[in-house]
Structure 1
Amino acid sequence: MGSQIFLDGAFVSRDDAKVSVFDHGLLYGDGIFEGIRSYDGNVFRLQQHIRRLYDSAKSIALEIPYTQEEMTDLVCETLRRNELSSAYIRLVVTRGSGDLGLSPTNCHGARVFIIAEQLAMFSAALYEQGIHAVTAATRRNRSDSLNPKIKSLNYLNNILIKMEALNAGASEAIVLNSEGYVVEGSGENIFVVRDGVLTTPPAYLGALEGITRQAVIELAGELGYVVKQEPFTQHDVYVADEVFLTGTAAEIVPVISVDRRTIGNGAPGSITKRIHEAFTQIVRTDGVRI
């Protein structure tokens, strides 16, 4: 059976999942999304993802035509229709079809679609060996221009950053804001470890408040580590004992070099490994069963 995609109230085949060329999400990036993961029949922290989706929608005055409870059921039903217990889910809400003008008032109502498929952000070997990263020349969008708490479809900034990493022969790029502080990766949050203390940039610098990021903060605290949310620079990355990235798609991936500077001893660190082990336990129990 081919992929079944939820689109505007019905499940359709992959080939029939089409949107209008007049959709504001396509024309202007006028919409929001969530990337979600399920593990062995458990949709990890689905309620937190759904809440963030509706918060993003409210912030841009986008009316979603389903309640949060209905949307939760639709995500689970999409997994059931595709007979997937472990998958990556992409939930998208656009402003809908309108005309070629910028005004959202000419759109005819929100469009909702949900895709569930297998996804491997990095190869299995890289989670064991760690990845190489570079610092991107492209800076993160300013928070006073586009609030990072809104998980919008405007991802060109992220794509340009990812292109820099690939062009440099690296797996990922680390992003700075306009003041030179480290913000995140191209699409992941970042943590540095120094003398047993974990530090991650505060959201006000331009980072998304990631669901996996929050899980790591909680797990690290439960394991007895101090976690700080405070600004830091490239220097702090270079001299860290450990560096790792977190995200729904990426999960937890260790970084072993940045800009050709070896991080720690050049191998994934013990704290990263311990947190990753704890994370693999909660993803199958913390969430909503399909």
Structure 2
Amino acid sequence: MSNDSIVYINGKYVHKNEALVSVFDRGILYGDGFFEGIRIYNGKIFMCDEHIDRFFDSSKYTNIILNYSKDEIVDIIEKLIEMNNVKDGYIRLVATRGAYNLGLTPPTPDVANPTLICIVSNITLYDRKFYDNGMNAIFSSFTRIGTSMLDPQCKSLNYMLNILAKMEANNRGAQEAIFLNSNGIVTECTGDNIFIIKDDVVYTPPSYTGILNGITRILIIKILKKLGYDIREQEFTRYNVYTADECFLTGTAAEVISVVNIDGRLINDGKVGPHTKIIMNEYKKYIDSVCN
């Protein structure tokens, strides 16, 4: 992101160094807000409707009422893409309950003034070599927050658990961390959904285990079904991951990436598996088909 990049904040398009948020904003004070990450390919918003719908679902879940329509938010994004001349990049939408006092009690809807921020920039989640050769992961010592606590299907600003787990992975020489829930069931990674393949069957955790039902996850499941794979949304444990034939992750920023080593254990022969290569290629083909 260049120094003269333009961002949107509360009705204004300003240079990023001039974008100001109140120190009383509840997003800063309490993480009282939500966000959405969206890809840009060839100047086009990828899976736009799905992401904007989820943004408004998060609005409903948090009861942060946006003073925008879906079309108005899309217009803001498109204008920023044009103003920043971004061809391939990343969109970050952020909404908070806005500025209020220091108390925990939120403002009532009639006096609330939510903050809306939109950033269009570049992103590199993992180095190119990890897409070619696969990456390392660990099982985090942190337990995934349950759906009865704060449902991970809402992309809230409360990402401290994810950050701590990411730091834990990096400190152990890995690029990603995998969460188990309180029952020892595999859920997801710090920013990606997880899939494993065993005996030509593809498995991924069901949403009720405590995952974000990722938009890329949903698309990959559709692609797998179209390719004729046996795909099962089914609970599995650490043991099943260690003994899998292949493992890969999906996410808006990550796209599709292979995991070849978990907790020092090679997944199969420690190389990107043949099925994962097919899935990566088909995902790329799909992007090209809708964004060219």
**TM value normalised by structure 1:** 0.97
Q: Is the contact between residue 42 and residue 284 of structure 1 (CA under 8 Å) also seen in structure 2? A: no
Work out the CA distance in 2 between the residues paired with 1:228 and 1:50. 27
Match of 1:245 among 241, 245, 249: 249
Tell me, in whole angstroms, the C-alpha distance in 1 between the residues paired with 2:228 and 2:44. 27
- In structure 2, the residue matched to 1:134 is 138
Residue in 1 that maps onto 2:55: 53
1:185 corresponding residue in structure 2:
189
- 1:3 is matched with 5
Question: Which has the larger displacement, 81-90 or 103-112?
Answer: 103-112
Q: Which amino acid aligns with 2:30?
A: Y
- One-letter identity of the residue aligned with 1:238: Y
For 2:154 and 2:288, the matched residues in 1 are separated by 27
Aligned-pair identity (%): 42
Whether 1:113 and 2:103 are equivalent positions in the alignment is no
1:170 equivalenced with 2:168 (yes/no): no
CA distance in 2, matches of 1:83, 1:11: 14
Aligned to 2:15: 13
Structure of higher RCO (CA pairs closer than 8 Å, 6+ residues apart): 1
Q: How far does residue 84 in structure 1 lie from its aligned partner after superposition? A: 0.4
Find the partner of 1:232 among 214, 220, 236: 236
Structure 1 gap segments, 5+ residues each: none
Amino acid at match of 2:53: R
**Which amino acid in 1 is paired with 2:80?**
T
Cα distance in 2 between the residues matched to 1:42 and 1:269: 31
Matched, 1:124 2:128: yes
CA distance in 1, matches of 2:133, 2:143: 28
Q: Using the alignment, how far apart are the partners of 1:88 and 1:37 within structure 2?
A: 5
Q: How far apart are 1:148 and its partner, in Å? A: 1.4
Alignment pair present for 1:198 and 2:202: yes
**1:195 Cα deviation from its structure 2 partner:** 1.1
SS at match of 1:173: strand
Q: CA deviation at 1:207?
A: 0.5
* Range moving further from structure 2, 154-163 or 275-284: 275-284
Counterpart of 2:141, as a letter, is A
Deviation (angstroms), 1:42: 2.0
1:151 partnered with 2:161: no
Which deviations, in whole Å up to 9, do the C-alpha atoms of 1:165-194 show, x marking residues without a partner? 011111111110111000011111000011
Aligned position for 2:213: 209
One-letter amino acid matched to 1:146: L
Moved over 6 A (4+): none
The aligned counterpart of 2:258 is 254
Q: How many residues are paired up?
A: 288
Match of 2:285 in 1: 281
Map of 1:96 onto structure 2: 98
TM-score relative to the length of structure 2: 0.96
